[in-house]
Each structure stands twice: as structure tokens, then as C-alpha cells.
Amino acid sequence: MPAGRCPQCGTELAPALLACPTCHRLVHADALTRLAAEADQAVAGGDAGTALATWREALDLLPAGTRQHRAVADRVAALSRDVEAAGGAATPAPPKPAWAARAGALGALGLLLWKFKFIIGVVLTKGKLLLLGLTNASTLFSMVLSLGVYWAAWGWKFAAGLIATMYVHEMGHVAALQRLGIKAGAPMFVPGLGAFVRLKQYPANPRENARVGLAGPIWGLGATLLCYAVFLATGWAAWAAIARVSAWLNLFNLLPVWQLDGGRGFHALSRVQRWIAAGVIGAMLLATSEGLLIVLLIAAVAQAWFGTAATDGDRRALLEYVLLVIALAALSKIAVPPRALTGLPTSLGLSFT
């Protein structure tokens, strides 16, 4: 009963109210009872994902700060951990290759990149999910509009590759949102500004926020590696340019500020973990001389020094963040052959060999 009068005391209710201001009866009591039954049935059937989405829907119908809201929030957090654990068990980490131990420092960097090889497999095997956004008219229209703008500026090859890598990045967010049962719209492109996914619900805690935020750069890294692999296999210079710019854009998204992906990741880090992340950024700045890392370092130090840090840090979020910084910083220094597209974005500092 979203509006009207309270069936218990007759008080007139505004549409946005979740509880009667007089008798405190829950406005959506009947819907909550139904959702609770559906969630319990899903748990009994072993479908934690459906149960998580159902309880999250119930959470939106409860007034914040109430006992019922806290109880359902605890259920959402527990089921979210269960879903994450089940997903992790399905993709165990492969054994460390022997060459990594023999190659010294270069082997260490190679190992970090090698550990991300599963991302390419994820991108290639998630064809149905990747096609999902293309079935949305607004996504497709905004994508074509952005393609036209970039095409006019840099040519169709670079424009098409850039749009594709941006799309994969955004679908990484969509995949994480779906896994956590968080409702969201399809990706939307804004010419000159990138793309975004509009959330209809929000992560329940910093851990979920970090999973959603960092999923985009993780998938973006997979797209970058795929583009670079195509360049190495074919020698087509345009693919090197696309890989370079894709790496730079995903690295930019790791800025730990505002609602950027890096900011979402930093929300889950303790103060010590934030200093560790800042140290890794500084080390990669010395190793690569990538100018963008200066901005990342300043923002990371500010967040570590002044920002409100999580009490219990998230090790997975820290690991994902530092691995992304290392891999993307290295890939952002890909040398683009001179036969690549003319008129590329010079602000990205593309070097030609």
C-alpha cells in the first residue's frame, strides 16, 4: 500500500513513507511477508543468488535505522558473502608457472599479468552477458552516437575499438551487479565523457561497493590484453593504439576519488591498506614514469591521510586494486607504431617507435 491511509490506525500516508508515522506499522508489510517467503524458499532450494536479490528488494521497503532494516541488512551481507565465496570456489587460481621464479623482476611483472589471463576467458565466455546491453535501445543508440563522434575525430578503426573496450568495462560492472542481486540499468554512453551504468539499488556495504567498482577495470584489463594480443598476433598497429588508450582510461578510473571505480575500491580499505596502495602507485610511477600515476598518488595519499577508512580492511579489494595499478600502468606504456592511426588523442602521451 504505497499511499492512502494506514489500515491499522487510518492515518493518511504520503507516497514516500515506509512506515506509518502514528502507529509505526510498515506500509509494505504484505509485500515484505511475501518477499521473505520467496527468499526462504530460494535458500531452501540452494539458490543463494535469488535469495540475495529478494532480500535486497525487501531492504528497499524498510525504513533505515529500524530493527527490521538492520536484520534484513545482516541477511543481505551474509548472502552476499556466500555468493562471493561460491563464485570464488568455481574458479580456483591456477598454479604458479615455473618460468616466473626464474625470470627475476621481469618474471614477477609477467606473473602479475599472467594471473589476469583468466579475465580474457571470462570476457570470451560471457558472450550472452556482453550481448545483453546491445539489446537495449538506449544503450545501442548512445553507443552509435559516441561512435560517430570518435569516428569523426580519430577514424572508424580506433573509434570502434575504443567503444568496444569501454563497453566491456561497463559490462564488468553489470556482471558484478547481477551477481550481487543489485538492480541497475544497461550501460549508457556519453560522447567525450565515457559511459556509465545507472544503479536502481545500491551496494549494502563497502565490500560490495568495491566488488562492483573494481569489476569494471578488471574486465577493462581483459579487453586491453585481448587488444594487445591481437596486435602481437597480427601486427595491426591500430590494435596497439586501442590497447594503449584502453589501459590509460582504465587506469584513470582507478583514481580513488568521488564515484570513480578507484574511489569505490578505496571505501573498503583500512588506513594501512590505503598506504600500501599508495606505495604501489609510487613504485609504478618510478618504474614507468606514467604521468597519470602522479595524480593517482596524490589522491591515494590524501585518502590515506585524511579520508574515512574502513575499520576492517578488505584484502581482496586491496589485492585487486594493486594488481590493476601494476598491470594497467605497464600496459599504458605500450609503444604505438607510427603506421597507427593519425590524429590520436595526444593528451594520452602516445609514444611512437
- Predicted confidence at residue 215, as pLDDT, reads 96
CB 264 within 8 A of CB 214: yes
CB 61 within 8 A of CB 28: yes
CB 29 within 8 A of CB 170: no
- Predicted confidence at residue 324, as pLDDT, reads 98
For residue 19, the 8-state DSSP code is B
Q: Find how far residue 291's CA is from the centre of its chain.
A: 23
Query: How many Å from the N-terminal Cα to the C-terminal Cα in the chain?
Result: 67
- Predicted confidence at residue 251, as pLDDT, reads 97
Q: Which three cell numbers stand for residue 254?
A: 582507478
Q: Which three cell numbers stand for residue 298?
A: 596524490
Return d(Cα 272, Cα 241) in angstroms, integer.
37
- Predicted confidence at residue 127, as pLDDT, reads 56
Return d(Cα 110, Cα 116) in angstroms, integer.
10
- Predicted confidence at residue 24, as pLDDT, reads 80
- Predicted confidence at residue 90, as pLDDT, reads 35
Regions of the chain where pLDDT drops below 70? 1-3, 87-134, 338-353
Q: pTM (2 decimals)?
A: 0.79
DSSP-based three-state secondary structure for 5: strand
CA-atom Rg of the chain in angstroms = 23
129-136: long-range pairs with CB below 8 Å, 24+: 129/171, 129/174, 129/175, 129/178, 130/167, 130/168, 130/171, 132/171, 132/174, 132/186, 133/167, 133/170, 133/171, 133/174, 133/186, 133/187, 136/186
- Predicted confidence at residue 193, as pLDDT, reads 82
Find, among 106, 94, 97, 96, the residue nearest to 330 by Cα.
106
Burial class (CB in 10 A: 0-12, 13-18, 19+), 193: exposed
CB 268 within 8 A of CB 314: yes
